Amino acid sequence: MKWLKFKAAYVEGAWVSPFFIQVDDEGMINATSATSPQGKCEEQDVYLLPGIPNGHSHSFQYVMSGLSERVLPGRTNDDFWFWREQMYKLANHIELDELLSVTTQLYMGMMEQGYTSVTEFHYLHHDHAGKGFARATQVAEVIMEAAQQAGLHLTLVPVYYNQAAPKVPIKPQQKRFYFASPDNYLSFIEQTVAVANANYTDVLVGYGVHSLRAAPLDDIKTILSTPWTKGPAHFHASEQTADVDSFVAAYKVRPIDWLADNVPLSSHHNLVHATHLTPQESKKLVKSGATVVLCPSTEANLGDGIFPIVDYQANGGSWCIGSDSQVNLSPFREMQMPELTQRLLDRKRNVFCNETQLDSGTILYDQALKGGRLAVGLPKTSFAAGSLLEGLRVNPYHDRLLERPLSSVLSIMIYAPETNMIEGVYCKGSVRVSGGRHVGRSGNQEAYMRATKRLMQALATL
Ligand SMILES: [Zn+2]
């Protein structure tokens, strides 16, 4: 057992300086203190921040970040739906060993940037022909293995996918994702839990539907109303205006209106994007306690639209951030985007601040933590006795942080972020990032190089 002394720590909404944590040899926290304990302390000349939860990730899409920023001759009117066709090509060509090395590499990169947990929204269930693998959970196991190798907390959310669009049957490119019925899917979830319990005890298994687009209403109702005490429920909602239009055309009701009136939504439920919603739908969501997982960089990249956040935030709506398509792995850049987008729209500044909450960065960090913990289904407090040490070691001598007041550190990191501000990361009780670099990088590099080489060759011929 030893005491660590941090220059300062951000603990449950307040800076404490200095801050002392007593840990055992496994990194389990035994006690914390704001006053100097008796005996020797190991001096840690850094600030300590809680690690940030990533509320939404599709790991395989890491390979294609930046590859779809060009148009094809004769096809200059680019949009989300064309991007999706390109994404399907990758989804239908990546092999299991490639998914393992790509996901491991990505998860290590996420940790270097400040994420310590991730919700992996998983729908590549079957082989390329749409047939089950020898073990139905084989792809899910690859994701679990990658998280274990990276030392990142994983909430794995395998999702139900049954149709292409409201009342439109599944397409050939979507057969890897398909489940025939909720029963079929829920038994798959039970099998995934059994695998996690046997071999990956740190993994939390959630559940959900891919989107309000990809399942019939009765199936959505059955799955999202299923009582589930383990992991959280996740689903994409109202990402594109076409999602809303096709839902209204098929069912004569708006998607989030329908959802709030037909599913017992609670803080257990997480809507990814929810970009296009009316003030009435927004109020229903706030009342339900559900969380909206915003993925601002991806939403901008894909041309989704802008989530109307000002009223939602002022009414007390819960939200968090996610890296989604992986075009940006910095949680700090992700956090700045809702505010900066609003500044551009309204020609105002610090739009989330009010008489009692004066610092924008603090508001954003607190919200990303609070909503993010719901989205990943992990403990609600930081640095609590009885939990493994987890947090970001921030360099107080970085040019941008030197001599700045503690009360501005979060805003500096969010509005003027640089990767080398985070010099280390603790996760699950150990140092996983040191000197800004994940300690496991060299072990995965060769496999990652092989995977990207083969995939780039395969994609070039499509
Ligand atoms: Zn997504």
CA of 323 relative to ligand 1 center, distance in Å:
9
Distance CA 244, CA 249 (A): 9
Q: Express each pLDDT in 145-200 by its tens digit.
A: 999 999 999 999 999 999 999 999 999 999 999 999 999 999 999 999 999 999 99
At 60, which amino acid appears?
F
Residues 39/33, Cβ–Cβ less than 8 Å: no
What three-state secondary structure class fits 378?
coil
Q: Average pLDDT of 237-255?
A: 97
From residue 228, how far is each of 144, 193, 421 by CA, in Å?
Answer: 20, 12, 39
CB 394 within 8 A of CB 48: yes
Q: What is the DSSP letter of 404?
A: -
- Residue 351: is its pLDDT beyond 80? yes
What pLDDT shows up at residue 229?
Answer: 73
271 pLDDT tier (thresholds 50, 70, 90) = very high
In the prediction, which pLDDT does 227 show?
Answer: 80
Q: Active-site residue among 273, 276, 304, 438?
A: 273
Tell me how far the alpha carbon of residue 358 lies from the centroid of ligand 1, in angstroms.
32
d(CA 4, CA 32) in angstroms, rounded, equals 9
Give the CA count within 13 Å in the CB-facing half-sphere of 239.
Answer: 25
Q: Is 98 in contact with 454 (CB distance < 8 Å)? A: yes
pLDDT at 270 over 90: yes
| Residue 1: predicted pLDDT | 94
Q: Which of 104, 97, 135, 131 is nearest to 120 (CA)?
A: 104
Share of the chain above pLDDT 70, in %: 100
In angstroms, the CA 438 to CA 425 distance is 9
- Ligand 1 center to 177 CA (angstroms): 14
Centre of ligand 1 to C-alpha 308, Å, is 19
Is the predicted pLDDT of residue 228 greater than 90, yes or no? Answer: no
424: β partners: 393, 434
**352 in Cβ contact with 315 (< 8 Å):** no
User: Is 183 among the residues known to form the active site?
Assistant: no
Give exposure, 97-106, as e/b (b: 16+ Cβ within 10 Å): ebbbbbbbbb
- Window from 21-35, 66-80, 298-312 with minimum mean pLDDT: 66-80
Cα torsion 54, 59, 64, 65 to 10°: value is 10
Confidence of residue 73 (pLDDT cuts 50, 70, 90): confident
**Among candidates 109, 75, 69, 73, which has minimal Cα distance to 419?**
109
Containing 352, the helix (H) or strand (E) segment is: none
Beta-bridge partners for 22: 3, 31
| C-beta atoms surrounding 144 within 10 Å | 22
Euclidean distance between CA atoms 120 and 236, whole angstroms: 13
Domains observed in the chain = 2-49+384-441 (2.30.40.10), 52-376 (3.20.20.140)
Residue type at position 328: N
Dist. CA 110 → ligand 1 center (Å):
16
Using the mean position of ligand 1's atoms as its centre, give its distance from the Cα of residue 83 in Å: 13
Q: Six-digit token pair at 164?
A: 């292409």
Spacing, Cα 237 to ligand 1 middle (Å) = 10
Between CA 437 and CA 12 the distance in angstroms is 27
State the pLDDT at residue 182. Answer: 97
Give me 78's structure tokens.
């680019």
Q: Token pair 């099998």 is at which residue?
A: 191
Cα(316)–Cα(10) distance, rounded to whole angstroms?
A: 22
For ligand 1, the distance from its centroid to the CA atom of residue 211, given in whole angstroms, is 9
CA 250 / ligand 1 centre spacing (Å)? 23
Give me ligand 1 centre to Cα 122, in Å: 9
Tokens of residue 292, six digits: 């909206």
Percent of the chain scoring above 90 in pLDDT: 95
Q: Is the pTM of this model over 0.95?
A: yes
Which single residue is written with the structure tokens 């998607």? Answer: 255
Is 126 designated active site? Answer: no
One of 56, 219, 324, 438 is an active-site residue; which one?
324
Kindly report, residue by residue over 423-435, the tens digit of the pLDDT: 999 999 999 999 9
Question: Do residues 86 and 147 touch, judged by C-beta distance below 8 A?
Answer: no
Closest of 380, 434, 441, 392 to residue 417, by C-alpha: 392
Q: Which residues pair with 238 in a beta bridge?
A: none
